[in-house]
A = this chain, B = another copy of it.
Amino acid sequence: MKNCLIAQSGGPTAVINSSVIGVVIENKNLCHFDNVYGGLNGIEGILENKLINFSEMTDEEINTFRYTPSSGLGSCRYKMKNFNENEAEYKRFFEILNKYDIDTFFYVGGNDSMDTVSKLSEYAKLHSIDKRILGIPKTIDNDLMFTDHTPGYGSAAKFIATTVLETYLDSSVYMNNGVFILETMGRDTGWLAASAALAKINGKPVPDFIYLPEKSFSIINFLKDVRRKMQEQNKVYIVASEGLKNEEGTFLAQLNSESKFDNFGHAQLGGVCDYLKNLIVNAGITKRVKTLELGVMQRCAMHIASQVDLDEAFAAGKAALEYAIQGKTGYMVGIRRLQNTSYKTENFLIPANEVCNKIKYFPLEWISEKGNNINDAAIEYMNPLINESPTLNYENGLPKYTQIK
Contact = CB atoms under 8 A, between A and B. Distances in A.
A45 B175 contact: yes
Contact of A301 (B75, B166, B300, B397): B166
Each complex incorporates copies of this chain amounting to 2
Interface string A374-398: 0000000001001111000010111
Interface stretch (A86-94, A97-105, A194-202, A242-250): A194-202
A12 B170 contact: yes
A63 interface: no
Contacts of A12: 169-170, 173
Contacts of A158: 397-398
A173 B383 contact: no
Contacts of A383: 396-397
A202 B296 contact: no
B201 A166 contact: no
Given A41-B175, A304-B303, A297 B166 contact: yes
Interface in A362-378: none
A121 interface: no
A403 B292 contact: no
A132 interface: no
Contacts of A396: 198, 200, 383, 386-387
Interface in A273-326: 290, 292-293, 295-297, 299-304, 306
Contact of A398 (B70, B199, B202, B302): B199
Contacts of A299: 170
A74 B175 contact: yes
Contacts of A292: 293, 295-297
A172 interface: yes
Given A76-B174, A295-B292, A383-B396, A70 B169 contact: yes
A55 interface: no
A301 B44 CA distance: 38
A77 interface: yes
B402 A302 contact: no
Interface in A22-54: 41, 44-45
Interface in A180-200: 198-200
Closest 5 CB pairs of A and B: A386-B397, A70-B169, A170-B300, A75-B173, A166-B300
Interface of A: 8, 12, 41, 44-45, 68-72, 74-77, 158, 161-163, 165-167, 169-175, 198-202, 290, 292-293, 295-297, 299-304, 306, 383, 386-389, 394, 396-399, 401-403
18 contacts: A12-B169, A12-B170, A12-B173, A68-B169, A75-B173, A76-B175, A158-B397, A163-B297, A166-B300, A166-B301, A169-B300, A200-B396, A201-B402, A290-B295, A290-B296, A292-B295, A303-B304, A383-B396
